[in-house]
Amino acid sequence: MSGAGSPELTVDGTGLTVVIVAGRWHDVITDGLIAGATRVLEASGATYSLVRVPGSFELPVACKVALDNGADAVVALGVIIRGGTPHFEYVSAAATDGLTRVALDAGKPVGFGVLTLDDEQQGLDRAGLPGSKEDKGEEAASAAIATARLLRELASR
């Protein structure tokens, strides 16, 4: 289940070690994201583990440590819901920029499953829960595995 225009990826995670790093905020939505990522990783044959961090702001540092400790890829999952202050913009930018930097510095993929939302319903619609229109956890895990495979292929040329 993916959004309009999203590629359908069939991925082979055999021989890959992946860490799901997920925030604790908005646990109903985050748990849906984790379930989607887990389904993909199990079906792909990847070895995976789950680490929980307090919120989306903490995702980059935990992802960096996971990659530094041998993970082939990480799947970063979190939820940031807009409020009445600029906090949303600060956390969204910090998480996005931080995860991009982690991927570039490590030379390893970070599957990006951080939902930036105007309201909780948008998250419920994108979390892969029963009745959801999309499954962003599934998409993030698929992208991480596909990119890890591609990077291995490029390195072997």
Predicted TM-score (pTM) of this structure: 0.93
Domains and CATH numbers, the chain: 17-42+55-156 (3.40.50.960)
Whether residue 101 is predicted with pLDDT greater than 80 in this model: the reply is yes
Does residue 97 come out as left (phi exceeding 0), alpha (psi in the -120 to 50 range) or beta? Answer: alpha
Q: What is the pLDDT of residue 6?
A: 56
Q: How far is CA 25 from the centre of its chain?
A: 15
20 residue type, one letter: I
Annotated ligand binding at 36? The verdict is no
Annotated ligand binding at 88? The verdict is no
Would you say 100 and 83 are in contact if contact means Cβ atoms under 8 Å apart?
no
For residue 54, the SS3 value is: coil
Would you say 76 and 106 are in contact if contact means Cβ atoms under 8 Å apart?
no
Annotated ligand binding at 75? The verdict is no
The pLDDT tens digits for 58-86 are 999 999 999 999 999 999 999 999 988 88
Average pLDDT over residues 13-39: 96
More confidently predicted of 2 and 82:
82
For residue 152, the SS3 value is: helix
**Residues labelled as active-site residues:** 87
